Amino acid sequence: MAGRPMLASMFVAGGLQSLRRPEDVAPAAEPIVRPVADRVAVLPDRTEQLVRLSGAVQVAGGVMLGLGRCPRLAALALAATLVPTTLAAHRYWEAEDPSDRAQQRVHFLKNLSMMGGLLIAADDTGSAPSLLWRGRHAAQDLRHDANLAHRSTRIAARPAAAAGGIRAKLDSCRTGR
């Protein structure tokens, strides 16, 4: 399938650029990166480091998605990097020049479309049942098996109960009670 490598190519190229020259992207990323980095202690403090980290995730996720290795996880990782990238780089609502605003809107919508493609890829099970489907059907099978065992036990217990009742009647006849 050529769709995944085509979708992945943009992330590999963009991720490599972020790895090589994070200073090109850092000024635009700063308004988004700073509040997130202040709240999440495990993230690096410097914007350039976070841009590099995002670029590394994009390269790794893009390669994995393109090769079909853990494609669902790769697509989710790429989608996670796309949110701050889009919000930082394509803030069309802040652009004052009409042509710049229109261009940024196009890029914003392009990224939104790519996000949709990634979410479709993340949801694609490749014709295999999803974990949710498997879990639901396993639970149904367990309920069915438990119901079957319950009915079998009740059916098997009837002759024993009947025999016990007959025995009790015989014992009462012998003892005269």
94 and 18 in a common domain: yes
Are 37 and 45 in contact by the 8 Å Cβ rule? The answer is yes
135: number of CA atoms within 13 Å, CB side?
Answer: 3
Q: What percent of the chain stands above pLDDT 90?
A: 49
Domain encompassing residue 144 = 129-177
Rounded Cα–Cα distance for residues 36 and 104 (Å): 23
33, containing H or E segment = helix 26-39
30 and 84 in a common domain: yes
Domains of the chain: total: 2
163 and 133 in a common domain: yes
Q: What is the pLDDT of residues 24-63, one digit of tens each?
A: 989 988 888 888 888 888 888 888 999 999 999 999 999 9
119 and 72 in a common domain: yes
114 and 65 in a common domain: yes
157 and 115 in a common domain: no
pTM: 0.67
32 and 95 in a common domain: yes
31 and 117 in a common domain: yes
Question: What's the pLDDT at 110?
Answer: 95
Rounded Cα–Cα distance for residues 19 and 52 (Å): 5
Are 50 and 57 in contact by the 8 Å Cβ rule? The answer is no
Average pLDDT over residues 121-127: 79
176 and 92 in a common domain: no
The residue with greater pLDDT, 45 or 143, is: 143
Which residue's structure tokens are 């652009």?
95
142 and 112 in a common domain: no
143 and 112 in a common domain: no
61 and 25 in a common domain: yes
